[in-house]
Amino acid sequence: MSHRIARQSKRRLTPEEKVRVAEVRRMVDGEQEEILRRGREILAEELARKATLHDVRRLLKAERLSQGLTLTDIQQRSGGDPPALSRLENEADANPTVTTLTRYADALGKQLIIALVDPMA
């Protein structure tokens, strides 16, 4: 089997190509925030597909951050206590009720669903 070696060929951009490259860079710079926001949405969706009840607290926080919301925003929407919401998100041994998790999810415009399924083999 013969091996081919790729060689790089460098050519200078034409003035028209330089203008087009600069235009595309400006477009990307202008859309950067939207690209990042959409990336956070996609990440939150992917994490949600892999969720277990143990992961719900982490998913709620990830969704809150992807929506650009603060704990105060969640408190105003859910009626929760800000220190309790912070503990829910950050303390490993937090033990929130299903009602608390449901209110938090509602504040994010999401629905908390609990399912009983057979474990994966």
Q: How many residues does the chain have?
A: 121
What is the structure's pLDDT at 86? 87
Q: Would you call 64 helix, strand, or coil by DSSP? A: helix
For residue range 14-52, list pLDDT tens digits in order. 999 999 999 999 988 889 999 899 999 888 877 766 666
Provide mean pLDDT across the span 106-110: 96
Residue 115 pLDDT more than 90? no
- R_g of the chain computed on alpha carbons: 23
Residue 121 pLDDT more than 60? no
Distance CA 72, CA 84 (A): 11
First and final C-alpha spacing in the chain: 43
What is the structure's pLDDT at 63? 93
Distance CA 42, CA 38 (A): 6
- Return the percentage of the chain with pLDDT > 70, whole number: 90
Q: Would you call 50 helix, strand, or coil by DSSP? A: coil
Residue indicated by tokens 């994490």? 47
- Which domains, ranges and CATH numbers included, belong to the chain? 15-107 (1.10.260.40)
- Alpha helices by DSSP H, listed for the chain, are 15-49, 56-66, 71-78, 82-90, 98-107
